[in-house]
Amino acid sequence: MDSGEFQKLADAARKAVGAGPLDYCLGGAGDESTLRRNTGMLDRYAFVPRMLGAPVTPDLTVRVTGGTLSAPVLVSPMGLQSLYHPGGEVETARAAASLGLGHCLSTFSSMDAADVAAQAGDGLRWRQIYILRDHGLTHALVQEAEDHGYTALVCTVDVPTVGRRNRDRANGFDRFALAPPAIVKSPAFRKLSAEVPGSPQEVLDSVFPHPECTWDDVARLVSSTRLPVLVKGVLHPQDARLAVAAGASGVIVSNHGGRQLGRSISSIEALPGVRAELDDDIPVYVDSGIRGGEHAAVALALGARAVLVGRPVLLALAAEGHDGAVRVLREIVDELRLTMRLVGATTPDRLRQAALVSG
């Protein structure tokens, strides 16, 4: 998906859902330098293809944490998707499952994890969680994932506090007031609400973010579940090492889509260093800024096991519903397959052998 196609999708989504939700999706932190850097640095990479080799029919199948995908693509965890379509996360999960791709459900999803599992088919599902200040509520999220067939937990660690989102401030946009997350209806949250005075928003504010969270908390999370845990939000190689030392099965290189630190290294810049820091059998994934299959190919060439894609899917859901989400995901996979054919890579892993330049 080139920048023109992305803008057309954003324009259509704006007409469908309005400025507030659209800017909440598109916006970044501060002056949005990180947001621009994510895609800009991906655009600087180019393959140097070899010619007249044997014909290539790529096999995109890949083993990821918790299962196998038809292609190395998952939908990123994005909260409050009912802002963009009544079916919310059920529709993006169904779209991914229909293509054999993966889906990661946010802690602050609009739809209950059990409902997504029941309605989204047999696709591979990860559950993103934050380590909250209330251990009972965190444990309830873990238990829910275990009970409903999620195959991995994704522990996001890059929100010690929420970044400054200037578009939301300008719009006076209160996401939780417009679309309360499903977590507020859970028994664990109702129990907490009986102990903590205030509105549901005030109760949420009492447990998230958790600025005192440490690697010891990650280790306790790992020991509390039978599911593999991926740590998301890693940019520094040493943090990747600490995540694995805490028991993580892998890491997701991410800067939260440019929504936290206004001036951060891009995910694609961080990926090679993180990949080099860890043993080859430890999977490294990446998100933030990926717009299409060519970007995905670059990430795979730099060592990612798979990529997570966010905004293009959510914009398509807003503009065109379930069919739009399917269309965009299919186009990403098709573009990745074509890139692999042109580069001469038979599998996603073989992209690491391709010549790649940055300038």
Q: How far is CA 338 from CA 205, 236, 348, in A?
A: 46, 32, 12
Distance CA 44, CA 78 (A): 26
Q: Could you give the CA distance from residue 316 to residue 170 in angstroms, rounded to a whole number?
A: 24
For strands 45-47 and 356-358, give the pairing.
antiparallel
**Which one of the listed residues 85, 256, 295, 322 is annotated catalytic?**
256
User: Can you name the residues that pair with 253 across neighbouring β-strands?
Assistant: 234, 286
The torsion angles phi and psi of 125, rounded to 5 degrees, stand at -130, 130
- Contact by Cβ (8 Å): 128, 156: yes
Give the span between the Cα atoms of 337 and 151, in whole angstroms. Answer: 26
- Report d(CA 286, CA 310) in Å as an integer: 11
What's the CA gap between 182 and 144, in Å, rounded? 12
Q: Alpha helices of the chain — where are they, by DSSP H?
A: 3-17, 19-26, 33-43, 88-98, 113-119, 135-147, 166-171, 175-178, 187-195, 200-207, 215-223, 237-245, 267-277, 293-301, 311-343
DSSP secondary structure string, 266-315? -HHHHHHHHHHHS-TTS-EEE-SS--SHHHHHHHHHTT-S-EEE-HHHHH
What six digits make up the tokens of 33? 């330098």
Bridge partners, 195 (sequence order): none
Q: CA 209 to CA 215: how far, in whole Å?
A: 15
Contact 236, 270 (CB under 8 A): yes
Answer yes or no: 256 catalytic. yes
Question: Which amino acids are annotated catalytic?
Answer: 256
